[in-house]
């Protein structure tokens, strides 16, 4: 048991999928895992453990943004011995050729957040994915012919920006950042600090440059592709 998780130690798997929306975690547990049991209801931040292909897997809701996600990931790593964590989420693409429904494997995560700055006394730490998880995910995408991009994402503290996002994020876009989301940089720094494997697998829900949005049907197919990819990778 930890402050935000009422599970017993043995109720949580070493391999955990992280979903921002707790109802999404519930949906995954019911539709993609066998014999899934709910282990956490504290703050309605649902967590489930079941099996996939005979292996024990957990799926945990985390809420949105780095502080919320970090609380759940920290406790899973430090109180439950999770050693492999894959975030599954959505992002807004910054590049015209990274289209809606495409998958982004976040090799690195830059950030406009100050979360790491006190730790590194104002200097920059590179938040990077576990290479072997990344490689496995890439191999799966290739094998299945899933359109994907691999690279640097921006983990932002803002969902809404005062200016048009393409203006606001101009420099990041010029430096080749593929997309914006709100959790990956903190997940990768936790991975580095506590020596566990982390990866973010994102689907593009909107393209901020072209204005393209995913339709409900698009979202469903993209979600299913991402889920199969995440489960095969973990
Ligand atoms: N900004 C931040 N996070 C996101 C976005 C966005 O535009 N789209 C999906 N996740």
Residue extents of the structural domains in the chain: 1-82, 89-196+203-234
User: For 203-231, what is the mean pLDDT?
Assistant: 92
- Statement: residue 52 has pLDDT above 90: yes
Ligand 1 mutation pick, 21, 24, 157, 179, max ligand atoms within 8 A of CB: 179
The pLDDT score that the predictor gives to residue 169 is 96
| pLDDT of 216 | 85
- What pLDDT score was predicted for residue 123? 94
- Catalytic positions are 206
**Alpha helices per DSSP H over the chain:** 22-32, 66-80, 131-144, 165-168, 170-174, 184-194, 216-233
Report whether 144 contacts 221 (CB < 8 A).
Answer: no
Q: Indicate the fold that domain 89-196+203-234 takes in CATH.
A: Rossmann fold (3.40.50)
**Confidence check: pLDDT of 215 > 90:** no
For atom 7 of ligand 1, the residue with the nearest CA is 92
Confidence band for 227, pLDDT divided at 50, 70 and 90:
very high
């Amino acid at each position: 048991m930890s402050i935000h998780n009422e599970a017993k130690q043995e109720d949580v798997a070493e391999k955990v999928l992280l979903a921002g929306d707790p109802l999404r975690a519930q949906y995954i547990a019911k539709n993609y895992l066998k014999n899934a049991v709910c282990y956490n209801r504290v703050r309605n931040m649902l967590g489930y453990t079941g099996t996939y292909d005979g292996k024990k897997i957990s799926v945990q809701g985390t809420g949105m943004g780095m502080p919320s996600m970090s609380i759940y990931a920290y406790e899973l790593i430090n109180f439950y011995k999770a050693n492999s964590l894959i975030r599954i989420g959505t992002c807004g693409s910054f590049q015209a050729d990274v289209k809606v429904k495409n998958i982004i494997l976040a090799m690195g995560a830059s950030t406009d957040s100050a979360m790491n700055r006190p730790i590194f006394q104002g200097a920059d730490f590179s938040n990077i994915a576990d290479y072997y998880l990344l490689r496995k995910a890439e191999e799966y995408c290739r094998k299945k012919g899933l359109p994907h991009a691999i690279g640097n994402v921006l983990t932002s503290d803002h969902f809404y920006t005062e200016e048009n996002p393409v203006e606001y994020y101009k420099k990041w876009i010029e430096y080749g950042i593929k997309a914006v989301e709100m959790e990956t940089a903190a997940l990768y720094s936790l991975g580095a600090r506590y020596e566990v494997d982390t990866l973010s697998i994102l689907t593009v829900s909107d393209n901020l440059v072209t204005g393209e949005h995913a339709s409900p049907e698009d979202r469903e197919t993209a979600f299913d592709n991402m889920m199969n990819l995440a489960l095969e990778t973990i």
